[in-house]
Amino acid sequence: MGLKAVIFDVDGVIIDTAPLHHKSWETVLKRDYNMKFTFADFKNKIDGMPRAKGVKALLPMADDKEVDRICAEKQRYFEIYLKKNGVKIFKSTVNLIIKLKKEGIKVAMASSSRNARPILEKEGIFKYFDIDAEGALAKKGKPYPDIFLRAAKKLKVKPAECVVFEDAQIGIDAANAAKMVSIGVTREHELKKTNLNVKNMKQINVNKIRELFK
């Protein structure tokens, strides 16, 4: 089978919201639990997870009411920091998306974050995508394959015809579980079990992606 679609994680691949997410989590955890929470903790423990699942991973004893409260507080701080600091856009990723579209290849965004699509819409990037996988609605979050299988179904392509760009290990694991080709974006850390790793999106192009299917 050949390449029919490319699915992009958002945070860390298209936009750099990881520092904002980390700072939001750090603020709430420090304030309410006096918990130290480094950027490495964020990347290794909850990056790529839906908000509630992240709370459960960090605070397994928290009940549903407490989980909801922490999620709301984390989101409140995220919006404060986003408004104050803005967000970095990886232009090389946007350029690749535009080139894929010109080649007739379908593209999807697949994020577990409810913040992802509003930010892409605000920045004028969402218009390039054929669909939003609506990852927050997936029955199981990453590392389960649900989010990527939703994307393939909405794009009307087979999983084996898809490539996934991810910057988190649980995202790579989810792509592999979906039986899709996985490309790791390793700007700051290494990723395992990928078909290919790139440190910068300038290192990849449409032809190199197609070669992964040969």
pLDDT at residue 188 tops 90: no
| Arithmetic mean of pLDDT, 9-31 | 94
What is the DSSP secondary-structure string of 194-206?
-SEEESSGGG--H
> Which residues are known catalytic residues?
9
pLDDT at residue 150 tops 90: yes
pLDDT at residue 102 tops 80: yes
In this prediction the pTM is 0.85
d(C-alpha 198, C-alpha 4), whole Å: 21
pLDDT at residue 151 tops 90: yes
Lowest model confidence (mean pLDDT) among 19-23, 35-39, 48-52, 82-86: 48-52
Say which DSSP state 15 is in: E
pLDDT at residue 112 tops 90: no
Same CATH topology for 5-16+88-211 and 18-85: the answer is no
**How much of the chain, in percent, has pLDDT values that exceed 70?**
100
Q: Which fold has domain 18-85?
A: DNA polymerase; domain 1 (1.10.150)
What is the DSSP secondary-structure string of 37-78?
--HHHIIIIITTS-HHHHHHHH-TT--HHHHHHHHHHHHHHH
CA 70 to the chain's CA centroid: 21
The pLDDT of residue 167: 92
The pLDDT-based confidence of 93 (bands split at 50, 70, 90) is very high
Q: Which fold has domain 5-16+88-211?
A: Rossmann fold (3.40.50)
Phi, psi for 125 (deg, rounded to 5) = -100, -30
Domains of the chain by residue range: 5-16+88-211, 18-85
